[in-house]
Amino acid sequence: MATEQFWAGFWDKKAGEPTNFQATGRGRMDLVGFLYTVRECANLLKLRPEDRVLDIGCGTGIFTLALLPFVQNISAFDISPAAVARAANNLSDAPNVTVKVGSITSIPSGDGQFDKALAYSVLQYLESEQAVLAAFREVARSLKPGGVALFAGNPDPSCRKMVEDEIRANNDEPAAGKYIALLAETLWISAEDLVTLAGRAGFDARRVGIHQRIQQHTYMFDLVASK
């Protein structure tokens, strides 16, 4: 699996893409699909006006901006300094948010500061199951007792061949080879194994399917974890 430094460089480069959707790896997602994603995250986290939220892997801050009206404040971070700079610009007129560089395995916050945490399509960029366990423990540390975390957009290993076949069908050979090689650098862990790892970190976790209007629903799943 690729290292955190590899992915920081990858997302630094992506942060220079023309649109915020492209810069966060959602270049093929339409606006309706994005809004359904925001709706699903808000519902699964049961966001409340008094909530303090941790947005892990915030990218260019578009999720952060969409969720701000639902909550008291959001602390957002990402491993990519270039993405954080773009997010800070996108969120510059929002008074109830902070943005900084940080990693899910070393969260830049004190203990028990947050009511809710969102990590959208983050776990797949870790190096190993041990790194995932470390990430779960860090999120648990950062949450208040009774806090809830949503680890969304996790690729299902049982769907990997289907994803690779679709890539080959929709791209020429050089492009398909590039995309598939990148898939090989990501971490595909079953929902059952993620639930087990989350339990070791002190979470009560469950798998949730993704709404069919969201592009990733065919090969990804969400994990809701309560402390």
Structural domains of the chain in order of their starting residue, each with its CATH number: 4-157+190-226 (3.40.50.150)
Q: Please tell me the distance from the alpha carbon of residue 24 to that of residue 226, in angstroms, as a whole number.
A: 27
pLDDT value, residue 30? 86
Residue 102 one-letter amino acid: G
For the chain, report the end-to-end CA distance as a whole number of angstroms. Answer: 29
pLDDT value, residue 81? 97
Q: Please tell me the distance from the alpha carbon of residue 186 to that of residue 75, in angstroms, as a whole number.
A: 26
Which positions ≥6 away from 174 have C-beta within 8 Å?
none
pLDDT in tens, the chain (227 residues): 899 999 999 999 999 999 998 999 887 788 899 999 999 999 999 999 999 999 999 999 999 999 999 999 999 999 999 999 999 999 999 999 999 999 999 999 999 999 999 999 999 999 999 999 999 999 999 999 999 999 999 999 999 999 999 999 999 999 999 999 999 999 999 999 999 999 999 999 999 999 999 989 999 999 999 99
Contact present, 192 and 135 (Cβ < 8 Å): no
pLDDT value, residue 170? 93
pLDDT value, residue 117? 98
Look up residue 41 and give its two tokens: 């995250």
pLDDT value, residue 25? 85
Burial status of residue 98 (CB atoms within 10 A of its CB: 0-12, 13-18, 19 or more): middle
pLDDT value, residue 110? 94
Q: Report, in angstroms and rounded to the nearest whole number, the Rg of the chain calculated over CA atoms.
A: 17
pLDDT value, residue 194? 98
The DSSP symbol for 157 reads G
